[in-house]
Amino acid sequence: MLMALARTWAVALNGIAGHLVAVEADLAAGLPGTMVIGMGDAAVTQARDRVRAAVMNSGQKWPDRRITLALSPAALPKRGAGYDMALAVAVLAAAGVVPAATAGESVLIGELGLDGQVRPVRGVLPALLGARAMGREQAIVPAANLAEAALATGMTVWGVSSLRDLIASFKGEVQALIPGVAAQRQDDMGGPDLAEVLGQPEARLALEFAAAGGHHLAMIGPPGAGKTMLATRLPGVLPPLDDEQALEVTAVHSVAGMLDDDTPLVTRPPFINPHHSASLAAVVGGGSAHIRPGSVSQAHHGVLFLDEAAEFRPTVLDALRQPMESGAVLLARASGAVRYPARFQLILASNPCPCAAAKDIDCTCASGVRRRYLGRLSGPLMDRIDIRVDLAALDPMTLTTVGAVGESSSVVGDRVLLARDRSALRWKGTPWRTSAEVPGAVVRRSWRPDRREADLLDQAVRSGRLTGRGYDRVLRLALTAADLFGRERPSIADLATALALRCGEAL
């Protein structure tokens, strides 16, 4: 009569990688009690009491047996409350309340309230992508996560609101499961437009280069020069995310709890701007109870904007170097390291000095203070930034007389797209798509400056304008110029433009 053993399926997340977890319930004679083995953090151990209350408040009896719940593989770290539904159903299937075969068909993800309501959890999309990769074809998730779950195409997904509904559906009494429908991709082209940025032709050009080549960019200038306005318009001139990137970014944002319930798929490059007082954990990722992806991962395949960059803690600025090199962050944990992707484009903005005067002539800072301020940004971090642009304060007079209405984001975005296509063609058959990604040695092999071009570069090095590391950056920028202007090979004019962009000089 009593089915003593039953198995359901759940998913463990490590970063955004999902691994299938088998949940087994064994009901044996002996002293009544419930034991959970193969579980990780405190939240999962507390699941025992939560699941028991949820089952009883859903009109079911908690088996008067010695219950062993086992999650395997045991070595896999299991975090969070997303296992509740799989645990509850395993017990109910072992007790013969629901058919064991039905209970084992679908991956079950969801947290249970004490009242038996199914609560949404983070990370549903990456969990399902992991389950799908391991051959699972069906899943049941919290109703509030259904739109996100439906992004796992090729899987049949249903949403459920309460354990009571789930039990009734499994028993065939009612059909209370909500079928998931894969949403059509909607590319939202809204957002702030470059046409609203007045003046600053050099900064606009720098932004276009940054977009076309994927270069990191630093903007130095007084308050009101338009640094933030420009930075916020970068995502609007970047190409939309391709399908694979969109899923990856959506997976990270799912784990970070940032998704829109109704239109979860992220199709535009994200724009993430942490405040300069942000902690190391907030920027890089971490946290004690829940491990959250930090700003660097939230900005994956998008833009990380640090306004007032010199005001950030030095430890935070230093911590950016590792993800800038590797495109990922590794967060050490007692239960093992957690990896999140973090391939972002960095945009720094800073005032030239702490007093932040609108005009240099009004600056009240001692010269040493002024020098040290930007010095906080210099060194290894600035070495990784290809473009530096110095913005002057906007003169309202010139603006009204020139009536400078700049090009719109769609015009600039079209040029960027063309340049990206040329760049992809240039690096066809390599792992790189933009010139910013290409290693220095490869850049130097890809084209050899002629005599005049070499002279220009040598002069810059001799005069101290350019460092050894900066040399490769200039070559990369020259390649981006060639891509933007539709040239196979950079011209000497492209090289001069690249040099000016690298050194923060007037064009």
Q: Which of 16, 23, 5 is nearest to 85 (CA)?
A: 23
Residue 265 structure tokens: 């798929």
Rank residues 53 and 355 by Cβ distance to Zn ion and give the closer one.
Answer: 355
Compute the distance between CA of residue 344 and CA of residue 251 in angstroms, rounded to an integer: 15
Instruction: Tell me, residue by residue from 328 to 367, as one string, x for binding to Zn ion by CB under 5 A and - for no binding.
Output: -------------------------x-x-------x-x--
Rank residues 355 and 404 by Cβ distance to Zn ion and give the closer one.
Answer: 355
Rank residues 134 and 366 by Cβ distance to Zn ion and give the closer one.
Answer: 366
Q: Which helix (H) or strand (E) holds 329?
A: strand 328-331
Count CB neighbours of 49 within 10 A: 11
Rank residues 355 and 456 by Cβ distance to Zn ion and give the closer one.
Answer: 355
Reported as half-sphere exposure (CB side, CA atoms, 13 A), residue 300 has a value of: 29
C-alpha 461: how far from chain center = 37
Whether the CA torsion 314, 308, 327, 425 is positive or negative: it is negative
Q: Using the 8-state DSSP alphabet, how is residue 265 labeled?
A: -
Q: Tell me how far, at minimum, the Cβ of 222 lies from Zn ion, in Å.
A: 9
Rank residues 330 and 355 by Cβ distance to Zn ion and give the closer one.
Answer: 355
Residue with tokens 């971490």: 286
Q: Tell me how far, at minimum, the Cβ of 371 lies from Zn ion, in Å.
A: 11
Rank residues 182 and 355 by Cβ distance to Zn ion and give the closer one.
Answer: 355
Contacts of 316 (CB under 8 A, 6+ apart): 278, 279, 280, 283, 284
Compute the distance between CA of residue 403 and CA of residue 408 in angstroms, rounded to an integer: 15
Q: Tell me how far, at minimum, the Cβ of 244 lies from Zn ion, in Å.
A: 46
Contacts of 482 (CB under 8 A, 6+ apart): 422, 488, 489, 490, 491, 494
Does 13 sit near Zn ion (CB under 5 A)?
no
Rank residues 365 and 404 by Cβ distance to Zn ion and give the closer one.
Answer: 365
Q: Tell me how far, at minimum, the Cβ of 362 lies from Zn ion, in Å.
A: 8
Residue 98 structure tokens: 């629901």
Rank residues 372 and 433 by Cβ distance to Zn ion and give the closer one.
Answer: 372
Instruction: Tell me, residue by residue from 361 to 400, as one string, x for binding to Zn ion by CB under 5 A and - for no binding.
Output: --x-x-----------------------------------
Q: Which helix (H) or strand (E) holds 47?
A: helix 42-56
- By rule CB under 5 A, what count of residues binds Zn ion? 4
Q: Tell me how far, at minimum, the Cβ of 373 lies from Zn ion, in Å.
A: 8
Q: Tell me how far, at minimum, the Cβ of 311 lies from Zn ion, in Å.
A: 14
Compute the distance between CA of residue 453 and CA of residue 460 in angstroms, rounded to an integer: 11
Q: Tell me how far, at minimum, the Cβ of 198 lies from Zn ion, in Å.
A: 24
Q: Tell me how far, at minimum, the Cβ of 354 lies from Zn ion, in Å.
A: 6
Rank residues 172 and 375 by Cβ distance to Zn ion and give the closer one.
Answer: 375
Compute the distance between CA of residue 24 and CA of residue 97 in angstroms, rounded to an integer: 15
Residue 328 structure tokens: 């990922």
Query: In a 3-state reduction of DSSP, which class is residue 339?
Result: strand
Instruction: Tell me, residue by residue from 259 to 298, as one string, x for binding to Zn ion by CB under 5 A and - for no binding.
Output: ----------------------------------------
Instruction: Tell me, residue by residue from 464 to 483, as one string, x for binding to Zn ion by CB under 5 A and - for no binding.
Output: --------------------
User: Which residues bind to Zn ion, rule: CB under 5 A?
Assistant: 353, 355, 363, 365
